[in-house]
Amino acid sequence: MRSRSNSGVRLDYYQRIVHRLILAHQEPVTGLFPASNINSHAWIRDNVYCILAVWGLSMAYKKIADQDEDRAKCYELEQSCVKLMRGLLMAMMNQKDKVEKFKMTQSPYDSLHAKYSSKNGLPVVGDNEWGHLQIDAVSLYLLILAQMTASGLQIVFSLDEVSFIQNLVFYIESAYSIPDYGIWERGDKTNHGEPELNASSIGMAKAALEAMNELDLFGARGGPASVIHVLADEAHKCQAVLQSMLPRESNSKELDSGLLCVIGFPAFAVDDAQLILNTKDAILSRLQGKYGCKRFLRDGYRTPKEDPSRLYYERWELRMFENIECEWPLFFCYLILFHAFQNDKRSVQEFADKLEKIMVRSEDGTLLIPESYAVPQDLVGAEYQKPGSQIREVVGRCPFLWGQSLFILGRLLQEGFLAVGELDPLNRRLGAQKKPDVVVQVVIIAEDTEIRDKLAEHDLHVQTIAEVAPIEVQPARVLSHLYTYLGRNRKLGLSGRKSRDVGILSTSKLYSLKDRIFAFTPQFVDLSRFYIASDNELMIDILKGEINFLKSAWDLLGRPLVTLVLKRIHLDQDKIPLAMIQTMRKLKSGYINGTRVMLGNLKDFLNTSAITDLSFLGSTEDGYPDRLHPDVQTYLDEHLLRSFSNRSTMNLRGGQLRPRHLRRRMSCKGAIKKTRSINVDSDNLGMEGPSPLTERRLSSVVPPPWLQASKQGHVSVFATTPEEGPTSPPQLGGELVARENMYPVDPLHSRSAIERRSEFVRQQEMPKILIQRHRADTNFADTEVEELIAMLRETENLEEQGDILQYLVDTQGLDFNTAGLGLKHKTDDNAAELDLDDVMLELTTAGGGGGGGGVVGASDGANKSSVPAVIIDATTPTASNVVKDKDNANLAAIVAVIAKANNPNTNNNAATSAVAAPAAAAAGSSINNSLNNNDSSQSEGMLEEGRVVTVRDLLKGLYEKACQQKLWGLVRHTAGMLGKRVEDLGKAVTDLLVRQKQVTVGMPPNNEHTITAPLPEVELRQLIHDAYGDDESTAMLTQELMVYLAMFIRTEPQLFHEMLRLRVGLIIQVMAKELSRTLNCGGEAASEHLLNLSPFEMKNLLYHILSGKEFAVSSVARGNLSIVSCKSSRVSKKSQIGLGDPEGEDALIATIDDRQGQWLRRRRLDGALNRVPRDFYSRVWTVLEKCQGLAIEGRVLQQSLTQEMTPGELKFALEVETALNQIPQPEYRQLVVEALMVLTLVTEHNMVPSLGGIIYVEHLVHKANQLFLEDQRKVQGDATLCCAKLKDGKEQQQAASGMLLCGGAAYICQHLYDSAPSGSYGTMTYMSRAVALVLDCVPKHGEKECAIS
C-alpha cells in the first residue's frame, strides 16, 4: 500500500466514521436520513445538521487532494450533500401550493411540513396532526443552501427551482411576527399546541435572509435570472425583534439552549457582541449541568415524572420537572463550535474534556453522542434535594446524529483540518465586529424651477426633477409594485411577493433596469397615505429619525442614499417653511443629530451608492429575458407620466368677509364636541362610571320628546309634546318653553331645525320600531337638510362646516345623497332652467310671505341666501300647507347650491380672519370645488361629472382643506368620520407586539380592549372604533399614537424598559391631564388643546411623557401650541403661554406649587405607562411562593401560578400585570406596586418562613394611609386641611359618597400620593409599618433590623 501522510491517515479515519455513522443511513432514492432504524420519518432540521459533517469532511479532503482517490472521495462526499439538499428541495416543492397559501394566511395549517417520508419524500402526517410550522427549519435549510452554494456546490439546477427558493424567502421574511412551534416542535412549553414567537426561529430566519440576499444560486456560472433578492428591511425587522427578545426565547420559555445556534454557528444572527455574551452566560449559568445543558427550564420531556401516555402537560404539574430536566450533550458540541469560531482555545478544550467524559463507547471503540441523560426513577428524590448530585442514565437515540455531526465538525476544526472560514464562506461570523461609521448621502430635488429658485435665495442649490435626468425619481409605491413581480412562476403557480411595504433600507439604494437608473423617495413622504404626512415638521422629524436609523442599520456595499422631492404642497403661504430651511442647512454642514451626512446632487453619488439590478422584471418565462415583462412596461409608461405631475391644488383665493348685521346662531354648534370622550376633570382617571359610552351621546339613541310628530298628521314644530296635541304656536319672539334638549336653542326664533330633524331620522334608523309616517314628516325632514346645506354653503368657518357635516352624518349617514332631495317630487322643468338670479329672487320671496306665520329656518338674518323657508299658517299647521311651496323651493335650493358650488366665480371667498374663527376658510362651496374644478352649468343638479355628491364627498373636501390649513382637531375628526386608517397601523401594532409589549385601547376600566396578537388592519380599526364608540377624534388619535409608539420603540427601545402593556387610553388621558396642569385650564379645554396639537407636537408631547422629562408649552401663531423641553429649572416651573414670567410673590408661590405636585405627577405617569421597578415580576413570584395568594382589586393571584410558571417567564408577568390593570387610577396603582415591593423585601431578607394566607394588598395601602394621617395630625401637616381634619357630620357624609376633600383617588389622601418614597415621612416607611401591623406572621415585638433600600 502506498505511503500516506499522517493527516491523510487521520482523515481516512474520520471518513470511515462518517461513512459508518452517517452515510450508511442515507436513503439511496431520496437522499434523506430517517430518524432511526425504526422510524422512517425525515425531519428537515435534523437532516440538514446531519449532512454538515459530510460537507466539512469534503472540504478537508479538497485541501489535501494530491491523489486521485482523494479527489474521488471529495467528490463522492460533495455529491452526498447535493443529494440530501435536493431531496429536501423536492419534498418541499411537492408542497408548493402551501407556500403560496401561507404567504396570504400565515396559518399553521398552511405551513410546509416539518418532516417527510425518507422513502419517497411525501408527507407522513396530516396538516393538523403535528406542529408543522417551524420557521427555523426552513430558514436553516436556506442558510446552509446559501453557504454550500458559496463554497462551490451546485445544488439548484433550474430557474423554476430558483423561483421556488425565492418564494421560500417570502415564506420566512415575516418570521418576526409569526408565532411558530420552534426548534423543539412544541410551542408553549405546556405542549398544548399553542404556537408562540420564538427567538431561535427569528434569529435563524434573519441569518437565512441575509445569507440569501443577492446570492446567485447557480454559483459562478449563473446570470441575473438566478439571483435571489431579499428586501433588507425584512431582515432588519427580524434583527430588531431578536435583539429585543434575547436572552428570552419566548413567552413561556424564559431561556433556551437552542439559542446557542443563533448566537454562534451556524446562524451568527446577533450583531451585538455584548448581547451574545449575556445570552451565552445566561444559558451556562442556568441550564448547564454535568451531562450537557437542559433545553429549557421545567422541560418534562423524557423525565421519569413525565406521563408518556399523553402529549400535553397539565399546567400545575410543570413544577415537578424542576431540577430533574434531561441534560443534552448536543449543546456541548454547539459550545465547542461557538468558542472555536471565537478562537478561544482554552474554552474549546474545557468543553471537549467535559464532552469526552459523557460520550458512550461502542463495541469497536467509536465515541458516540447520546441524545440525552435523565435522572433514574429511584434517584429522583435525592436529585430534588440536591440538584446535580445524582448519576444519570442515557435515554433516547445513541448515536444522536445531529450531535454526532456537530461533534465531528468540532474535531475537524480542533485538529486543524478545517479553518473556520471554510465552514462560513459567506463570512457571517464577522457580523458582530465593529463597523466604520456610515455616511448617509442626501439628495434634495425641487419639483419645478420655481421651488429651485426659492431654495437658491437661501443659498441652497438643488436640481429639479427634469435636471437629474437620465436618472428617474419615483415614489416608493412604484418600487413596491415592481417587487410584486419577484418570484412569479406560472408553471409552479407562484404569485410573487405579497407584502406591499418597502422600508427605508430598500429606498436608500439606486436601482438599474436595462439602461435606466431609478432613485426612489422614501415611503414616509408619500402624501397619498395619511394626514400625518401633511405636517411638515413631523416629516422632518421622521427624516432625522430615518437618517439615524440608516447609520446603525446599513450593512450593504456602498453608502445609503436618501432622495427627497420638495413639492408645491410643502410650501407654507408660498414660502418654504423655516423648519425645512434649518434642516437643509444642518444637512449641508455635514452632521445631523450625530450622523455624518453629505448633501449633493444625484450624479455625484452614482459611484458611491449601492445599486441593485432589477433583472427579475424581464419576461424570462416567455423566453425573452432581455425584454421587460409587458405588464411592467405598461405600468412604468403610465406611471412615469403621472408620478410627480402637479396635482391640481384647491383654489383658496382670498376675499373679504361679508358684512353681517346679524351673526347667525349656529344650530349645529358643538356637534363634534359632543362626541369627545377624553376624561380629564374627574381626578380619578378612568372612573367615569359604568357606561360612559351610552351616557355620552344620548342624542344618537333617544329622540327628545318635543321632536316627535303628533299622531293626527299635524306637524308640531314648536314646544309641543305628543301628549299635549298641537297647540297654536307662539308668535315670533314669544318665549319658548325650553325642555332638556341637546342642541342650543335660539329663544327669539323657532327651535333649531336640527331638533326637528333628528326625530325623523331616528325613526328611519331604528329598524325594530316600524313607524308609519305621514307625508308631512318626510317633507320636513328634507326641508331641514336643505337648510343645513344652505348654511353649509354660507359659513366660512371650517369648524362650523365640520359641525354641520357631523350632524348630517349622524342623521343621514355618509352616503346620503345631497342632490336627490326635492327631485323626488314632481319636477318643474321651467324651474330647472331658471337663471341664477331668478332662482335667488324666488327663494327670497318664498321666504318673505306669510304674515303671521313663524318662519321656520335655520338662519336668523334676512339674508339673501337664507333658503328655503317654509311657512306654516299660524292657525292650522296642516300638512297640505307645507307641500304647496315645497316643490319649487326644494328644487330651487338645490340649483342654487350647485350653481354656487360649481361656478367658483359666484363665490364670496373668505379670507383668514380673526373674527370668524382661528382660521376661517372659503365658503362651503369650495368644498365641491376641491373635488373637481370644472364649471358645470347651473342646471345639472348635484351631479358632478355625472356623479352624485354625497355627504362623504363634502367631508373629503373639508378634510383636505383642514389638512391644508393645519386645523388638526378638525382633520382628526373628519379623518375618523371618513373611516380613514393609518396605512402602517397594522405594522405599528405588530412592531409593539413582537417586542413583547401588549397594547390596550379604550378607556379603563370598562371599555379597555387588549391586543395580544397581530390583527389585520380592518379588524384593528373596528376594535379601536368599538372601544371609543362615537368619539372619532380620539379613535383617530389612538391610531396616531400607536404609530408614534412604534416609531419610538424602533429608535429608542430604552424608553419602554419595565413596561409590559401600553394602555393608549390612559396615555391619552394623562396627556390631557398634563396639558391642563401646564396650561392651568379645565379638562374640556385641555382635551380640545390636545386634539388640536399638530402631529409633530403630539409626538413630542408623547415623548416627554414616556421619558418623564419636564416640558413647558409655548404658544405659536394660529393658536397652535408647541411643546418645549425644559432644561433650566426656572422655566420648567410654569407654562409659557402668553403669561410672561409671573413676577414677585406670584413667582414664588408658583414654584412652591409645582414642586408640590411632582411625586403625584410621577406616580400618575408611571401608573399610566405601567412602569414597574426592575425585576419586579420575578420578585412578586417569590412573594407568591411564600403566601397563598395576593389579592389586588378583587383579582386573586393564586400560589398555584408558581407551579405553572418560572419567575422570569413573560406569561407570569402578564398575569400580575392583568391584576394590576384592574385598578383604574394610575397613582393608586403605583402605591399598590410600592406595597408589593415592600412585601418582596420582607421575603428576600427571609424574615419569616411564610407570609400566611391570602394577602390583600389594598389593605396595606389603606393602613399606610391611616398611619400617614395620624402622623399628619401629630405634626399639623398639610393633610390636616383635608383628610386629617377632625371629622364632623358633613365630612363623614362626603367620605361616604366617595369624594375626598383633596380629590385623592380611591380614598387615599392626595398628600400621601405626593410624598416621596423615602424619608421618615415617605410612603415606603408607612408601607413597611403597615406590613408589620397587618400581617400576622411578622413578630409584633422584639428587635428587628429593618433597613429599607
The string of DSSP codes covering 970-1013 is HHHHHHHHTT---TTHHHHHHHHHHTT-EEEES-TTTS-EEE-S
- Give yes or no for residue 307 having a pLDDT over 60: yes
- Give yes or no for residue 761 having a pLDDT over 50: no
Residue-level pLDDT at 781: 55
Q: Which three cell numbers stand for residue 170?
A: 417570502
Average pLDDT, the chain: 77
Q: Which of 112-121, 129-138, 674-683, 961-970 shows the lowest per-residue confidence on average (mean pLDDT)? A: 674-683
**C-alpha dist (Å) from residue 620 to 96, 157, 223, 225, 513:** 20, 16, 12, 8, 15
Residue-level pLDDT at 3: 53
Q: Three-state SS for 591?
A: strand
Cα 256 versus chain centre, distance: 27
Cβ distance 969 to 1088 under 8 Å? Answer: yes
**Span 285-303, average pLDDT:** 95
Task: Assign 945 a pLDDT band (cuts: 50, 70, 90).
Answer: low
Task: Assign 1084 a pLDDT band (cuts: 50, 70, 90).
Answer: confident
- Give yes or no for residue 627 having a pLDDT over 90: no
Listed residue (1013, 936, 994) closest to 234, CA to CA: 994
Higher pLDDT, 472 or 1304: 472
Cβ distance 965 to 921 under 8 Å? Answer: yes
Listed residue (551, 527, 532) closest to 542, CA to CA: 532
Listed residue (22, 3, 128) closest to 81, CA to CA: 22
Task: Assign 995 a pLDDT band (cuts: 50, 70, 90).
Answer: confident
What distance in Å separates the CA atoms of residue 136 and residue 145, rounded to the nearest whole number? 14
Q: In the block, which residue shows the cell 431654495?
A: 455
What distance in Å separates the CA atoms of residue 1049 and residue 240, rounded to the nearest whole number? 10
Task: Assign 368 a pLDDT band (cuts: 50, 70, 90).
Answer: very high
**C-alpha dist (Å) from residue 410 to 370, 403, 625, 667, 845:** 16, 10, 45, 83, 101
Residue-level pLDDT at 20: 94
Task: Assign 1341 a pLDDT band (cuts: 50, 70, 90).
Answer: low
Q: Three-state SS for 390?
A: coil
Tell me the percentage of the chain whose pLDDT exceeds 90.
40
**Span 1208-1236, average pLDDT:** 89
**Span 652-671, average pLDDT:** 45
Q: Which element (helix H / strand E) includes 855?
A: strand 855-856
Residue-level pLDDT at 40: 94
Name every residue whose Cβ is closer than 8 Å to that of residue 265 and which is 6 or more positions away in sequence: 334, 337, 338, 341, 423, 424, 429
Higher pLDDT, 125 or 945: 125
Residue-level pLDDT at 1276: 83
Listed residue (920, 951, 1005) closest to 1223, CA to CA: 1005
Q: Which three cell numbers stand for residue 698?
A: 344620548
Q: Three-state SS for 838?
A: helix
Task: Assign 783 a pLDDT band (cuts: 50, 70, 90).
Answer: low
Higher pLDDT, 144 or 1086: 144
Higher pLDDT, 823 or 434: 434
Residue-level pLDDT at 738: 36
**Span 688-715, average pLDDT:** 38
Task: Assign 521 a pLDDT band (cuts: 50, 70, 90).
Answer: very high
Q: In the block, which residue shows the cell 460537507?
A: 55
Buried b (16+ CB within 10 A) or exposed e, 86-105: bbbbbbbbbbbebbbebbee
List the beta strands (DSSP E) in 23-127: 41-43, 115-117
- Give yes or no for residue 590 having a pLDDT over 50: yes
**Which phi and psi (to 5°) does residue 870 adopt?**
-115, 135
Q: What digits encode the pLDDT tens for the residues 60-98?
A: 999 887 777 888 999 999 999 999 999 999 999 999 999
Residue-level pLDDT at 158: 95
What distance in Å separates the CA atoms of residue 990 and residue 566, rounded to the nearest whole number? 31
Q: Which of 134-138, 387-391, 432-436 shows the lowest per-residue confidence on average (mean pLDDT)? A: 432-436
Across 733-742, 874-883, 1273-1282, the highest mean pLDDT is recorded for 1273-1282
Higher pLDDT, 258 or 661: 258
Angle 1032-1051/1083-1091 helices, nearest 10 degrees? Answer: 60
Higher pLDDT, 712 or 575: 575
Residue-level pLDDT at 78: 97
**Span 510-537, average pLDDT:** 82
**Span 1112-1120, average pLDDT:** 65
Longest dimension (CA), the chain: 131
Across 243-247, 661-665, 666-670, 1301-1305, the highest mean pLDDT is recorded for 243-247
Residue-level pLDDT at 668: 66
What distance in Å separates the CA atoms of residue 1308 and residue 1231, rounded to the nearest whole number? 10
**Which phi and psi (to 5°) does residue 626 adopt?**
-85, -15
- Give yes or no for residue 770 having a pLDDT over 90: no
Buried b (16+ CB within 10 A) or exposed e, 190-219: bbeebbbbbbbbbbbbbbbbbbbbebbbbb
Higher pLDDT, 884 or 334: 334
∠ CA 860-863-867 to the nearest 5 degrees? 80
Residue-level pLDDT at 679: 65
Q: Which of 188-192, 272-276, 1292-1296 shows the lowest per-residue confidence on average (mean pLDDT)? A: 1292-1296
Tell me the percentage of the chain whose pLDDT exceeds 70.
75
